[in-house]
A = this chain, B = another copy of it.
């Protein structure tokens, strides 16, 4: 494997609050794997565009997909520079001073260029996608047929240049503010599955699968 251990580069180095930065694959991959949505940035006629989309990872490759008619995928397919950012929000940090309010979060930024994925890699990637979103689902869902595979564009981006940025823990107030009688602490936030809603046209007698009932990120 030619992949290097560190993902740090001049451009991915965290300048603001550098102690929050991390550049190892384990840290970056854990963020990518938990998140369901990324924001893909690219340049169109000199101007920025940022599109929310599903991403998933297999090894050291980050994947995207969509209709072959989707404009942003067609732009990316041509190998333009992309910046992919993923953010997980973990909580509100309520300090005694308005100034020191913050949020706990884990974010990852990946820089690179995507290429179109075809053949066996495309089939494997589409299976991995279903498992990324909902582990266990690919054994149940009808797999894509030839027409559907053709209609889907899959792009892969090597993960070579990236960073993570993470804030954890409670508020950090100015020393004199600790005397103030103001509640301070963290309100954790979590993306929580609610009660599944069965499709109106569901065949009789089909139970909610365990992987849906027990779903968690």
Interface positions of A (Cβ within 8 A of B): 11, 15-16, 36-37, 39-43, 46-52, 54, 66-67, 69-71, 81-85, 87, 89, 91-92, 94-99, 101, 103, 105, 107, 109, 111, 126-127, 130, 133-134, 137-138, 140-145, 148, 151-152, 170-171, 177-203, 206-209, 212, 215
For A178, give its contact among B83, B133, B177, B201 (CB under 8 Å): B201
CA separation between A157 and B200, bound complex, in Å?
Answer: 43
- When all copies of this chain in the complex are counted, the total is 2
A141 x B190 contact (CB < 8 A): no
Main secondary structure of the interface of A (DSSP, over half): mixed
28 contacts between A and B (CB under 8 A): A36-B103, A39-B52, A39-B85, A41-B41, A43-B46, A46-B81, A48-B49, A52-B105, A52-B107, A92-B133, A92-B215, A95-B141, A97-B142, A97-B144, A98-B143, A99-B142, A99-B148, A101-B133, A142-B182, A181-B206, A182-B206, A183-B207, A184-B198, A185-B208, A186-B199, A188-B193, A188-B194, A191-B191
